[in-house]
Amino acid sequence: MRVWVDLTNTAHVLVLRPLVELLERDGHDVTITARPLSHTIELLDDWGHAYTALGRHGGANRLGKARAAAGRIPQLLRFARGRRFDCALAHGSTDLPPACRLLRVPNTTMFDYEWAVLQHHANCRLASRVLVPDAIPPDRLARYGARPPKLVRYPGLKEEYYLSDFEPDESVLQDLGVARNSTLAVVRTAPSYALYLGGSENPVLPRALERLSSDENTQTVVLARTPEQAHAVRALAYPRLVVPGRAVDGRSLVALADLLVSAGGTMNREAAVLGTPVWSIFEGRLGAIDEQLAREGRLRFLDDPAEIDVEKKSKGAWRDRVRRDPADLLRLALPVTPGTNGR
């Protein structure tokens, strides 16, 4: 079976990599296209899987995104035409569903945040299958045209699948110059290029960095999404603050950290799964996954940086976690059954 996977954001590389590897292990031919954004290309290079980079990101406003899609979708069409793909898969790509609709390729769109309204109105209608975690109530998705049997729900969090056999690599601390006996705080900046945030940067972030840097026993690693964010954080010149210049092993960093302050979604959920205390400074509308994690006490929302508990967590907390088989997710993700297209 020939499978097309489109990766349009950094987290998508982590989410879909186990599924790609399972497909290839079983003899299927997987072709990857990718949109350059944040550290997507760097993570693909680190993985070592072949890919074709197509398009660009359009920024945080609707006009810019529309122009970028208008340029990238024809690129995808030219790339895919004649390759006879049996099906396609993406997590949040806004370009793959329209391209697949025009090419008549069955395709699945995955997501775990239900309030990216413009994106979901298009993707859910154009995709053959919509795959989401079962924490998202179906009535929140019906407005997008996502109803059974098109709508398929999986148990748990996507992070429980792709982190199932994960073991943290402590060399990431040495590479960043982090002392093992210090308290490690990791900070993730906002996806300010996302349409649902309208290009905004989080005003709590500088105050949180000041709070963390005031503790002499704490080292803080800031994972910026863009060069502009990295430059702005370095310009603060706070002590004991590290801003990596390229993509790092974020999963290991989160597992080994004593706390996470993050404006993102995936890294917050990674921390919750791996047993790292996490404070969210996400400014968008609260999604069902975050509502669930908050109810369970695994996610807190930060308004005042003085609320952050800066202390060492239990060693090896990442070991005691829910692990789910990526093969179960793959079976739900494929919009066709292998062999049904005659190949």
Q: CATH number of the domain at 171-319, please?
A: 3.40.50.2000
What is the distance between the alpha carbons of residues 98 and 80, in angstroms, rounded to a whole number?
12
Residue listed under structure tokens 């398009």: 55
Where do the structural domains in the chain lie, given as residue ranges? 2-164+324-333, 171-319
Strand-by-strand arrangement of the 241-242 sheet? 241-242, 218-223, 183-188, 259-262, 278-280, 300-301
User: Sign of dihedral through CA atoms 91, 93, 98, 100?
Assistant: negative
pLDDT tens-digit profile, the chain (343 residues): 999 999 999 999 999 999 999 999 999 999 999 999 778 999 999 999 999 999 865 444 454 444 555 789 999 999 999 999 999 999 999 999 999 999 999 999 999 999 999 999 999 999 999 999 999 999 999 999 999 999 999 999 999 999 999 999 999 999 999 998 999 999 999 875 443 334 446 788 889 999 999 999 999 999 998 888 899 899 999 999 999 988 899 999 999 999 999 988 899 999 999 999 999 998 889 999 999 999 999 999 999 999 999 999 998 999 999 999 999 999 999 988 776 544 4
What is the distance between the alpha carbons of residues 279 and 45, in angstroms, rounded to a whole number?
31
Contacts of 124 (CB under 8 A, 6+ apart): 109, 130, 141, 144, 145, 146, 150
User: Do 2-164+324-333 and 171-319 share a fold?
Assistant: yes
Amino acid present at 20 = V
pTM: 0.90
DSSP character at residue 260? E
Mind listing the pLDDT tens digit for each residue in 57-94? 544 445 444 455 578 999 999 999 999 999 999 999 99
Mind listing the pLDDT tens digit for each residue in 16-29? 999 999 999 999 99
2-164+324-333 to CATH, choices 3.30.40.10, 3.40.50.2000, 3.10.150.10, 3.30.70.3460: 3.40.50.2000
DSSP character at residue 191? -
